[in-house]
Amino acid sequence: LWQVPVTFEDVAVYLSHAEWEAITEEQQELYRSVMLDIYELLTSLGKGSVSSWARVSPRGVAGAEGGI
């Protein structure tokens, strides 16, 4: 069984600003929750390489590429 390291960038789902605006508040909250769960899981395993992608704030995750 082969194991390949996984980073946050490997599993993150990127949304453009237009895509973010097109989804409901409930979907935005679900997105934030899932992204934070992934972030927490990977960092707890010592695998989180997120500094180039995400800022984590009390409101959720914001992408550095202009998307959410």
Helix locations, 1-68, DSSP H: 8-11, 17-22, 25-44
Say what the pLDDT of residue 55 is: 46
Mean pLDDT computed over every residue of the chain: 75
Q: Is the pLDDT of residue 16 over 90?
A: yes
| Domain residue spans of the chain | 9-47
Question: Residues 55-66: pLDDT tens digits?
Answer: 444 344 554 444
pLDDT at 47: 54
